[in-house]
Structure 1
Amino acid sequence: MKKILMIALLSTLVFNLSSWGQGMLTFFSQDGQKFWVIINGEKKNMQAQYNVKDIPVTFQWGKVTIKFEDNKIPDINKTVQVVDVDNNWCHVKYMIKKDKKGKYVMNNLDATFDVITTTTTTTTNSTTTSTTTQPTENVPVNTTVTTTVPQGTQTQTTNTQNVNFSQTTNMNPTGVTTTVTDPVTGETITLGANINITGVNTTGVSTTTTTTSSTTTGTTNTTIQNKPPVTTNTQTINNQPDHYVMPGYNGKVGCPWPMKENDFAEAKASVASKSFEDSKLTIAKQVTSSNCLLCSQVKEMMSTFSFEDTKLEFAKFAYDYVYDLNNYYKLNDAFTFESTIDELNQYVNSKKK
């Protein structure tokens, strides 16, 4: 009984462990400064190193402290994440470097996110069926068209093909049978009719064969009179608006013509294809500064970024290139922290003054 209980507990434990997600963290120093990594109060490397890699973690967000071997360098305290915008577990690599003021920092813009994937092999049996299609024979038809056009008159003469066919009629005491042979296809067509004749004795069978030749020629004359052209004076009135009209929106307009959906989709895909956060931000700013965006498009572009501060920086930048300015509050749903929302609202209010 104890063995059964132990097996059940172990099975439950294995199932729970397998259902947990896991990410990885790596930290490295650009100039070779050695450091310790402390995650949620736990030191991960006993000896100071300049590259601490492949640290497994089971949280999506966590507190990290970088403590340098050189105690003159201040610690770096930062909240890190190990999932991307779609909540996929990632191996996140952070670079530690000096900023323009000479202070050691660890920026989200310098981090890379590599999604951790599980490979599944599937074998599929497939059957290929080959179908052969025989070509269809085309039967040529001889048709001659002659067109003669004198000045001021157009005459069209059409000569139709001569058609010869054979017809055989058989008459016997019980009916009449007519056989016709198609001259083009060679197909034999038989037409029959039953005839009951009372009181007539027929002692023989009479067969009559008739060959008929038919020729049809048609000529069509068409006369076209040349008339002088008629000139009509037309005045064009342009009622096209000078900017895009969004259905249901009556607020302030920041720019006239938002990007078309297919053009925006290509631009967004280009931004999302980049690995580094700063590269994504640079391209997104280039696209935005050359176009006019809807608030919904700004929000979609923000979804390509992994970090909160990058989303905020882009939202501030894009405000000057947005069509429906009164809808900018809808970007608040793209942020995780209330403090970020407050900072964006303060920025927008300052632009309105």
Structure 2
Amino acid sequence: MKKITFLMFLVTISQVLVAQTSSITIFSEAGDPFYVLLNSVRQNESPSTNIRVDNLTNTHYTAEIVFANTSMPSIKKNMLMAVDVDGNWGDVTYKIKEKGNGKLVLRYFSFTPYQTEPLIPSDLTVIQYNTSPMPAIVTSTTTQTTTTTNGAGDNVNVDINVGGVSVGMDVSINDGVSGTSTTTTQTTTTTSSTIPNEVILVEEDCYAMRPADFRGALSSIESKTFSDSKLTLAKQIVKRNCLTANQILKITKLFDFESTRLDFAKYAFAFCYNPENYWKVNDAFEFESSIEELDEFISKH
């Protein structure tokens, strides 16, 4: 009996220890291959468009996205969350997207609670968290070229351009055959650990409101008798606390009039933590015209 109890204890402890880890999944909405650096250490050997890093034991990491396309600026985020707003461990997904102004950003996308056997998509590159520095990233290479020219003993001028630096050479090789001279260029590889000159620093304006705090806010709004008072309080709350699309939906449903619901939904969009899911707010409206007006508003912001 003691052996069984001890075995159950070990199993419970092992489950707790395993659960105290998270994964971060990052994907490029446009399909641009990239490298992921966590706490200044590169995680993937080859660039990929969809990367998951497992066995993360910290709640936050400094993250940098470095694109294989060297003309694209890297994205840096100092506080990338590896847990949800309540501190739960799991798989936190972020996406790389382009804003309306053309700037790239790294945005929160979703959270999935910890699973012992998660479903892994075929296009997902899975990596175990790495703390050992990797070799420098190869940024540019030249290819080997062989050129045959007429005239034994002729001088051949060769100009090689590597990484914007032009190198000229005079090479003459006589192979002993009349009228033939062979010139060969040398392959050169340039490496660098820091690819782009420009770095976009991404900082969250706010973090999603905790469920317990939201329940208190929802109760305060419901306690107001008049619609105008509800709307004023709701706008005060959303202005000072980022809300998820689901939380905004719940507040929007508290208003009696369609026009008030639409007013609040438009106002709250700028403070939504996950704006890619704002379509959920459509469930608060009775008329298609309201949904269309909200959609038109969102498309301009």
**TM-score interval, normalised by the smaller of the two chains:** 0.3 to 0.5
TM-score, normalization by structure 2 = 0.37
Greater relative CO, 1 or 2 (CA 8 Å, sep 6+) = 2
TM-score, normalization: structure 1? 0.32
Structure having the higher Rg:
1
